[in-house]
Amino acid sequence: MFRFTLTVAAVIGCAAAVAGGSAGAQDRRVPASPADVKLSYAPIVQRVTPAVVNVYAAKTIQNRNPLLDDPIFRRFFGVPGQQPEQMQRSLGSGVMVDASGLVVTNNHVIEGADQVKVSLADKREFEAEIVLKDSRTDLAVLRLKDGREKFPTLDFANSDELLVGDVVLAIGNPFGVGQTVTHGIVSALARTQVGITDYQFFIQTDAPINPGNSGGALVDMNGRLVGVNTAIFSRSGGSQGIGFAIPANMVRVVVASARSGGKAVKRPWLGARLQAVTPEIAETLGLRLPNGALVANVAPNSPAARAGLKLSDLIVAIDGQTVDDPNAFDYRFATRPLGGSTQVDVQRGGKTVKLTIPLETAPDTGRDEIVIKSRSPFQGAKVANISPAVAEELRLDANTDGVVVTDLAEDSTAASVGFQKGDIIVAVNNQKIVKTGDLERATRETARLWRIVVVRGGQQINVTLGG
């Protein structure tokens, strides 16, 4: 599985989407005559293409030569202190989802960009500002600057109504050649083992997707948005008939947060850690099939705890929809609207129990996020206390002790020595780190050696670094 990264010319595009709508299964049919085969998609294409845009992102990077950082080298060899800069560019696609100029695209298309431009189907270009970025879904929302008109948009379809075999159209700008339309069918639904984002629940399609299609639209035969193209499986970098798209129901959640003015996506908080059911676990539980999401931990005072969810419960459905694995549950739960409740079916002791879980956001009290500025291996790292919201955001156990790295400046000391987002700092020079203030005080001390205890991916790592 390849996740596309920036190249000099383009983002290697990805995609897969869905088709579907309110039409019942009885309305779907194969061609009945030669005349049917000659039918054209042109009316749909003409209606939807004005709402699909090209997204250009540019990022200034500095060519760092370590010798130029040495003032003595510069003095004796007359090398100027100013290091040359290079412009790194990427190309992707996007979809207009609000007439005021709101565009949804992939986060990896604009990640780290200093400048973003959006080109419409009629060749007009607009500067765009980044309204919201959500790395967990690989989605971002942009807003056109100086847009004083009503722009064409695509309506959202209910992606849960898609069926395998439905016809879909993929629209984007592959290889930078200009807006292109391809067609195919929905090859599979609910792909949960793709490994691209936190929410593994993708639509798979064989509609040809290529570099530059990332962030583009996949539409159904009613001209509605059913998915945002995100990744392809490829051995060569080009389309091999296996593309993946983020379902429209997840895209809708991210866009709603952007419309409300939020800088982060607001999602329901479960407060429980789930694990997949292996064949061995299924045999132990007496299950015929290894399906469902097994409860491995329940946080105190969380919505799950208040609803009565218990350790070793097996979640098999949410609001009547079958749950095959934890990824399927995460997607279904994350797309539920805040403020209400959802019903889950749980198998407990051989019986089915129905529980009602309130849909509320995780509390973010006590985050106390700071950037470490003192000279130390942590310089340039943004760290926070592990509040329920931080734990939910970074997929951590809310009961974990320590301080977590939430962000890193690219050229920071912390990044250069190998710290990563999600690392939990447990101890520094034998001092236990419980709060961000503890880490800040520890980094103010001068040390020839830094002995650091880090938890990464559940594994404890002991690191010794020079001062």
| Residue positions annotated with a catalytic role | 108, 138, 214
CB 100 within 8 A of CB 147: yes
Distance CA 259, CA 88 (A): 30
The single-letter code of the amino acid at 348 is R
162: region left, alpha or beta (phi > 0 left; psi from -120 to 50 alpha): beta
Neighbours of 125 (CB within 10 A): 13
Write out the two tokens for 160.
């849960």
Print burial letters for 54-69: b (CB count within 10 Å at least 16), e (below 16).
Answer: bbbbebeeeeeeeebe
Q: Could you tell me where the DSSP H helices lie in 19-155?
A: 34-37, 42-48, 71-77, 107-110
Asked if residue 353 lies in contact with residue 387, where contact means CB atoms within 8 angstroms, the answer is: no
Q: How many CB atoms lie within 10 A of CB 172?
A: 30
Q: Which of 215, 203, 106, 126 is nearest to 163 (CA)?
A: 203
Give me the count of residues in the chain: 467
- Looking at the DSSP bridge assignments, the partners of residue 322 are 317
Q: Which residues pair with 466 in a beta bridge?
A: 449
Residues 6+ apart with CB under 8 A from 253: 265, 267, 334, 335
CA-based end-to-end distance of the chain: 40
